[in-house]
Amino acid sequence: MKYWMLIWLVLATCASAAPRDQGTPGQFDFYVLSLSWSPTFCLTHPDNEQCSGKGYGFVLHGLWPQYARGGWPASCAPQSQLSREALDKGATLFPTRALLKHEWAKHGTCSGLEPLAYLDKTDAALGAVVIPEQLQPFNTPPTLQARDIETLFRESNPRMGNHGLAVICKGKVLSEVRVCLTKDLAFAGCPRSVKSQCHGGDIRIPAQR
């Protein structure tokens, strides 16, 4: 018993002494624009205000600062509070105010920008990416392969390279599309840390709600 208590104390001491690198605001290499397929989210969150029959397809999940070596800064300090103007701006971009507040606290604070400037950047990132016509609300096929979704995005965004986005699945259901962008919001090649996460074969695309 004493032996295991000693091990526990050593591990606890090491864990408490380990530095927690939250990152330095503005010090990152590129952005990921994450677009969530809302109907998939609503399958498991039917009571969320995002899922109240608004007919969303792709919605903004977030604009995330990333490191080229892999990983990302998160919850950087100091954290500026969202002003009323920023909250109003964010309400035009995010499907819910709760998601806006979460994304600002976790990712926006690491951008090196003040809240309103970060939201303007997010707005510009959304404007830089064209959603394919075949993936617009109420116009989607019930299934596609991940490589087909990648192709549709590249065809709709000619400046996007062959490795400019990643398709994310939950099991065999479409969850997100993540687009890699430079700090100036030009299309960029995604590093290995940002890659498609779907099984082979057809993936299901739930209908809009």
Q: Which residues are catalytic?
A: 61, 103, 107
Largest CA distance in the chain: 66
Q: Which two tokens stand for residue 157?
A: 């965004």
Q: If we measure between CA atoms, which residue out of 70, 76, 79 comes closest to residue 21?
A: 76
Its sign, for the CA torsion 183, 189, 150, 132, is positive
Q: Which two tokens stand for residue 181?
A: 């962008």
DSSP letter, residue 171? T
